[in-house]
Amino acid sequence: MKDYLRLLYNSAAQYSFPLVRDICKAIDGAAFGSDVLSRIYGAAVDYEGNNTCKFNPKEYDVKPFYGWHWQICSGIVMPIGIGNSSMFQPKPFNFESYAKKVLNDISDSLVALPMVNGTHCMDILAADEDDPSWLVEQRKKEVMIIHRWIREYYDELDANAQYSFPLVMDICKAIDGAAFGSDALSRIYGAAVVYEGNNTCKVNPKEYDVKPFYGWHWQICSEIVMLIGIGNSSMFQPKPFNFESYVKKCMKDFDVIHVKYCGGTHCMDILAADEDDPSWLVEQRKKEVMIIHRWIREYYDELDANGI
């Protein structure tokens, strides 16, 4: 309960002064009794509402505070403690216990770089000729780490045959360079050689060559309609978005059923139900549950048909 109350007052003080004022009024007003616990309960009711349980929040209720804990661990040591002059029990700041939790490498890639003389964000401000030598060296270390992260990122892209911006530059150079001729088809062929290598056939790839693109196509068929088309301002032939043909292709490729809803946001239908959900969202979830039931039934029917 002590931790809960400390968090209650801290968050109220940080985010909403009127809320602090109301909490103090609830304590002084003693609507639930003049003893200490009744006054505390009055403050909790003002903050949380008159619900059954206030001191044991569910896990997801405290997750937003993880971000702050991460920030004070990764950004700057905040020597914040509780002395003897507040309404909370004393809890002085202890650097040793703090450092055990913070000032160590978390992994090979997430490393700690302590700055004894620094201030918050000092290392990411613009460099100045009066910067002390330790700060100059600190920035060099950070740049080396960021370079490594970027290198590892592109190495992973290459390993997974993902797309690469340098590859785009190389393709554009091949088009402009006109190594195979200056007409349009020769320039296109030059781009294909950069992308595919100087092989015999480039326009009719084998099936496995295009499979990596299926993941994206599946995602935009199964999750959310992406209204992406080609207008008149690019180097490609115009191909405006057409919802009807979009649905037909998704059905043909994956047998995916689109359940349209307007007014919603991404993943809104798979969030936990709430009593304030609009009626259209309630109906939406019912349709989705029916579709999933059908999938499960068909799966087990197929197992039975194959004697599994």
The stretch 241-251 carries a mean pLDDT of: 84
Mean pLDDT of the chain: 77
Distance of alpha carbon 39 from alpha carbon 28, whole angstroms: 7
Q: In the structure, what pLDDT confidence band is assigned to residue 35 with cuts at 50, 70 and 90?
A: very high
pLDDT digits (tens, 9 = 90+) for 89-146: 888 888 777 766 666 676 777 777 777 777 667 788 888 888 889 899 999 998 998 8
User: Tokens 């029917």 appear where?
Assistant: 301
The answer to whether the pTM exceeds 0.85 is no
Q: How far apart, in Å, are the Cα atoms of 69 and each of 76, 92, 105, 119, 160?
A: 11, 17, 16, 18, 34
Q: If you average pLDDT over each of 5-19, 79-93, 170-184, which comes out highest?
A: 170-184
pLDDT band at 209 (very low <50, low <70, confident <90, very high): very low
Predicted local confidence at residue 308, as pLDDT: 74
The domain spans of the chain are 2-102
pLDDT, greater one: 109 or 211: 109
* Least reliable range by pLDDT among 61-65, 91-95, 103-107, 284-288: 61-65
Give the pLDDT band (50/70/90) at residue 29. Answer: very high
| DSSP bridge pairs for 82 | 91
pLDDT at 12: 77
Q: Give the whole-number percent of the chain exceeding pLDDT 70.
A: 72
Residues 6+ apart with CB under 8 A from 105: 111, 112
Q: Check: CB of residue 118 under 8 Å from CB of residue 101.
A: no
Q: Is the pLDDT of residue 222 over 60?
A: yes
What CA–CA distances, in Å, run from 72 to 67, 108, 120, 307?
A: 9, 20, 10, 58
* Whole-number pLDDT of residue 28: 93
Quote the CA–CA distance of 239 and 236 in Å, as a whole number. Answer: 8
